[in-house]
Structure 1
Amino acid sequence: MLNRRLFSRTTRYFLSPLSNRRRQHYFHSSQVAQTGQELKGTDQNFEKLVEQASEPVIVDFYADWCGPCRVLGPLIKKVVEANKKVTLVKLDIEENKLVAEKFMISSLPTVKAFHKGKEIDTFIGLRDSSFIKDFVEKTGSLATDS
């Protein structure tokens, strides 16, 4: 699955007599756009998505078997989509053990806020929607307006 913010789509027309079809090409953008989107984090892309990001990022550490994680996930996604100043990175700790060990994740769900690669805030466990909204707004307030 291609991330729409990392890749931009262009259509090229080939004028060959044998092929008069349109082809879509995807070109990689070197900068991640911070627009309230949800990205899938992995051990391989975590540094680029979170630690090298110049804008605020919220990381949701979860596992598929975790009941509270399944409740928190849609709540935080909805709030982040409405904010548009932060990016949500969801990281499954079962598939990405290196990052989970690096941040010593021992309880689920764990949500951490990062700004310019530094951890600025965290909470553990299921919280109500007003707490989540305040958490996201506080993190989003650090975004630089361009």
Structure 2
Amino acid sequence: MVTETTDSTFVADTANGVTLTDFWATWCGPCRMQSPVVEELSEEMNNVKFNKMDVDANPKTASEFGIMSIPTLMVKKDGKVVDTIVGYHDKSQLKNILSQYVD
């Protein structure tokens, strides 16, 4: 399951364990391609928490982390950014990246 996160909940939503946040916008074509891939992974990888954030509705967090292009996928482990992935990536690519951070 992918949970919607906001500027006010992002820190708490990504504080524990391994999290992937999909930064997206409704008008972004590649974001619409990335979203179902993230959804599929969320069903398979129970040891990762999946979030998504609409950058138009939540500009503070995107600005704070210097997100200039979307989709951007941010991986955090115990609240610290460990990877930032820009652009569309397929399921196997994302799974390989996330597997590095899960115990």
* Cα distance between partner residues in 1 of 2:41 and 2:97: 10
1:130 aligns with 92
* C-alpha contact 1:80 1:136 (8 A) present in aligned 2: no
1:5-33 deviations in Å (ceiling 9; x for gaps): xxxxxxxxxxxxxxxxxxxxxxxxxxxxx
TM-score (norm 2): 0.93
Tell me which of 42, 45, 56 is aligned to 2:6.
42
Give the deviation of 1:75 after TM superposition.
0.4
Larger RCO: 1 or 2 (CA < 8 Å, sep 6+): 2
* C-alpha contact 1:83 1:136 (8 A) present in aligned 2: no
2:41 aligns with 79
Identical positions, percent: 32
Q: How many residue pairs were aligned?
A: 103
* Cα distance between partner residues in 2 of 1:71 and 1:79: 14
Q: Which has the higher helix share?
A: 2
Give the gaps of 5 or more residues in structure 2.
none
2:79 aligns with 117
Amino acid at match of 1:74: P
Q: Which runs of 4+ in 1 moved over 6 A?
A: none
1:3 aligns with none
TM-score (norm 1): 0.67
Over the aligned positions, Cα root-mean-square deviation in angstroms equals 1.1
SS of 2:84's partner is: strand
Q: Rg bigger for which structure? A: 1
* C-alpha contact 1:57 1:114 (8 A) present in aligned 2: yes
Tell me which of 85, 90, 93 is aligned to 2:52.
90
